[in-house]
Amino acid sequence: MVRTQRRLRRPHRICRGGFLHLLALCLSVSMLLVSGRANAEIAPGDLTLTVTPERNGNATPFSREMVLLRIRGVYRQPILLEEVIQPSLANFSWTQLGRDAWSKTRLPDGQVAIAFDRVIAIFPHHPGDFTIEPFIHRLTVNEGGQRVVVDVASPPVSLPVAPWTKPTGGPDAKEPWWLPAKDVTITDSWSPDPETVKLGETTRRIVTIEAQGLVAEGLPPRPILRTRGILTFAGPVTRETVVTPTGPVARATYQWDVRPAVTEVIPLDAIVIPWFDTVSRTLREAEIPARQIGGGLPDREEDAKPIAPASTLVVVAAALGAFGLGLALIGFGGNGRAQRLRLPAKSRRALARAAAAGDAAAFRTQLGSALQAAPDLGPAWRTDPRIATGLDALDRSLYGRVDSPPPDLPALARLLARPMARSATAGPATPRLSALDGRTNATN
């Protein structure tokens, strides 16, 4: 019985040991197969790097105009280490916009690869035909179980830079400042309102300029704020570049403390900032609006004084005087009297914003809204040859059959913002907007 039991146990032990050995062998083969697939050799096209220049308006850039270089790598192999080796860019100034971006992307054959993105803004120093030398992305990958360093180079890129041929302006002119951008907006704020400031008091003016498609170093220096009768103390200038998905936005903030030195009303002229529209490839103008210091709200201390009660005789005499004056105006008709008309402040600001943006259609829309609030201004404007000529040019540019340039919108906005004289003589009834619709009523 004992021998029989031993004989039965021996075959059982042999079978269990062979099963374990076979299982270990299968696992080893599986690991080799997986390792072979993971550490396959690098095939052509597995690692690619491209550099694409993004030109404004798809046009040849001028000197100092920004061009975006979008650097993109697509890699099928896992990346252990990486380093970007950039060419010298001897004829350009440059700055990197934001950090490098790593993501996953799906290839046309359905496989998933690693994507690398970097954006660099370059600024050519002068005209010419230039070549962007290859960027090199030095990658450390795992090939065949070993770490291998691979240099992935981008193809060279040709980038011509055009010379400025227009008679005025341009990147090489000392004045005015060369400001190439997709759009420029200006914000002007005062604290307190300059019209309320009196002799010896101080108001702070803050002007912010934003330019799309530009870095902050390309914005102009602080404008000169100087006129007779004021003392100005310039504050610090702050600049920043905000990176957005559509490109950088440059922002500069200028600050002044302004103090009147005379008691009279002090006018501050508008400050015009020329800029080059990189989309339409035309010269435009942005404007820091004109303001005035003093001459606004009355003295609040005088307003706070209590009003002395008037006697009954004074009240009766004032009432009779007002009644007689009214009869005189009715009897003698004020036909030759002139009344002053002016756009509301809200309408003036809206026209100034549309003019600064160079948007003729928005300017015309704001003008129509303003005339609905002050319909008598239309005939008064038509009596001024400069305003009438500007309005006709505006309508021709928007509604004419032949393309014609719009008028100088900031200058027209300033003319429309002035007070106008209106004759008290009643004229024939006309539609409220007929004076500006480009048509006249003809009678046969």
Q: What is the pLDDT of residues 23-34, one digit of tens each?
A: 443 344 333 333
Q: What percent of the chain has pLDDT over 90?
A: 45
CA distance readout (Å), 28 to 33, 36, 239, 375, 395: 9, 12, 63, 93, 84
Could you tell me which of 288, 269, 278 has the C-alpha nearest to residue 185? Answer: 288
Q: What is the pLDDT of residue 427?
A: 45
Crossing angle (nearest 10°) for helices 360-373 and 345-357: 170
Mean pLDDT to the nearest integer, 105-125: 93
Res 360: pLDDT: 85
Q: Is the separation of the CB atoms in 219 and 250 below 8 Å? A: yes
State residue 421's pLDDT score. Answer: 76
Does the bond joining 221 to the residue before it have cis omega, within 30 degrees of 0? Answer: no
Confidence of residue 312 (pLDDT cuts 50, 70, 90): low
Nearest to 182 by CA among 128, 244, 232, 235: 244
409: left (phi over 0), alpha (psi -120 to 50) or beta: alpha
Residue 309: is its pLDDT beyond 80? no
Task: Write b or e for each residue in 83-111: b if 16 or more Cβ atoms lie within 10 A of its Cβ, otherwise e.
Answer: eeeeeebebbeeeebeeeeeeeeeeeeee
Per cent of the chain over pLDDT 70 is 75
Residues 53 and 124 sit within 8 Å (Cβ to Cβ): no
pLDDT, average across residues 211-223: 93
Closest C-alpha among 167, 170, 181, 162 to residue 62: 162
CB 407 within 8 A of CB 390: yes
The whole-number average pLDDT for the span 345-366 is 84
Q: Going by DSSP bridges, is the β-strand pair 247-260/238-244 parallel, antiparallel, or unpaired?
A: antiparallel
Please name every residue paired with 362 in a beta bridge, in sequence order, or none if there are none.
none
Residue 378 has pLDDT above 90, yes or no: no
Chain mean position to CA 149 = 43
- Written as six digits, the tokens of 253 are 């903030």
Rounded Cα distance between 154 and 135, Å, is 5
- pLDDT band for position 154 (cuts 50, 70, 90): very high
Burial class (CB in 10 A: 0-12, 13-18, 19+), 47: buried
Using the CB atoms, write b or e for 223-245: b if 16+ within 10 Å.
Answer: eebeeeebeeeeeeeeeebeeee
**pLDDT > 50? residue 141:** yes
Say which range, 47-56, 117-126, 358-367, has the weakest mean pLDDT: 358-367
The torsion region of residue 229 among left (phi > 0), alpha (psi -120 to 50) and beta comes to left
Highest mean pLDDT among 218-222, 326-330, 414-418: 218-222
Phi, psi of 165 (to 5 degrees): -115, -5
Question: Which burial class, exposed, middle or buried, applies to 420 when counting CB atoms under 10 A from its CB (0-12, 13-18, 19+)?
Answer: buried
The rounded distance, in Å, linking the Cα atoms of 419 and 340 is 6
Instruction: Report the candidate in 229, 356, 238, 232 with the shortest Cα–Cα distance to residue 290.
Output: 356
Higher pLDDT, 193 or 319: 193
Task: Give the integer Cα–Cα distance in Å for 60 and 58.
Answer: 7
Check residue 5 and give its pLDDT.
34
Q: Mean pLDDT, to the nearest integer, of 124-132?
A: 95
Give me the pLDDT at residue 285, please: 93
pLDDT of residue 321: 56
Phi, psi of 152 (to 5 degrees): -105, 115
Distance CA 97, CA 353 (A): 30
Three-state SS string over 248-313 comes to EEEEEEEEEEEEECCCCCEEECCEEEEEEECCCCEEEEEEECCEEECCCCCCHHHHHCCCCCCCHH
CA distances from 390 to 274, 320, 360 (A): 20, 48, 12
In this prediction, residue 71 carries a pLDDT of 97
Confidence of residue 317 (pLDDT cuts 50, 70, 90): low
Q: How much is the mean pLDDT over the chain?
A: 79
Architecture per CATH, 47-161: Sandwich (2.60)
Question: In the predicted model, is pLDDT for residue 213 greater than 50?
Answer: yes
Per-residue pLDDT, averaged over 60-77, amounts to 95
- Give the residue-averaged pLDDT of 304-314: 52
Give dist(CA 3, CA 56) in Å, integer: 96
Distance CA 336, CA 97 (A): 66
Cβ atoms within 10 Å, residue 3: 7
Q: How confident is the model at residue 335 (pLDDT cuts 50, 70, 90)?
A: very low
Given a cut of 70, is residue 73 above it in pLDDT? yes
283-305: per-residue pLDDT in tens? 999 999 999 998 765 444 444 45
Whether 54 contacts 67, CB under 8 Å: yes
203-207 mean pLDDT: 96
Q: What is the pLDDT of residue 39?
A: 46
Say yes or no to pLDDT of 160 above 60: yes
